[in-house]
Amino acid sequence: MGIAGISNEWRSPDGTRRYTFSMITVNADGHPLMQRMHRPEDEKRMVVILDPKDYGPWLEASVADAPKFFCQWAGALLGTPDDRQSSSRSKDIGEAPAAPTAPPPKPAPPPQGDLF
């Protein structure tokens, strides 16, 4: 499976060679499988999955042409229950798990720096 991403090689202030990589994501509202991957109150996101015919064009795309690839995957995706789920959550892929009574606190974001 090919996932659209961006990468860059750079040197840190101490001279160490560093590599940075990010996967491109798009909104997953309405996607039959991926919209179920986040809590009901959270934004739904999914990685940009590339069609194999688009691997080369993605790697050669200009910044101006890149957005034409930014769409939800329309091909088949298979989702199965995770055996690590607690017994209180539904194991049936056809049923959404019960919403938690109170959402856990969100962790503080990591310190931000220059990506590139």
Closest by alpha carbon to 54, among 74, 39, 77, 31? 74
Q: What CA dihedral angle connects 107, 30, 69 and 67, to 10 degrees? A: -70
Closest by alpha carbon to 24, among 58, 7, 48? 48
**Is residue 55 assigned to a domain?**
yes
Q: What is the pLDDT of residue 54?
A: 96
The total number of structural domains that make up the chain: 1
**Is residue 100 assigned to a domain?**
no
Q: State which residues of the chain have pLDDT below 50.
A: 87-93, 95, 115-116
**Is residue 19 assigned to a domain?**
yes
**Is residue 38 assigned to a domain?**
yes
Q: What is the pLDDT of residue 81?
A: 72
**Is residue 93 assigned to a domain?**
no
**Is residue 112 assigned to a domain?**
no
Report how far residue 99's alpha carbon sits from residue 102's, in angstroms, rounded to the nearest whole number: 9
Q: What is the pLDDT of residue 1?
A: 87
Q: What is the pLDDT of residue 30?
A: 87
**Is residue 91 assigned to a domain?**
no
At residue 83, what is the residue type? D
Segments forming the whole domain that contains residue 64: 2-69
Q: What is the pLDDT of residue 115?
A: 47
**Is residue 53 assigned to a domain?**
yes
What percentage of the chain has pLDDT greater than the value 90?
Answer: 48
Q: What is the pLDDT of residue 97?
A: 52
DSSP 8-state assignment for residue 33: T
Per residue in 24-56, pLDDT (tens digit) is: 999 998 888 888 888 888 889 999 999 999 999
CA angle at residue 35 from 34 to 40, to 5 degrees? Answer: 140
DSSP 8-state assignment for residue 71: S
- pTM attached to this predicted model: 0.62
Q: What is the pLDDT of residue 75?
A: 86
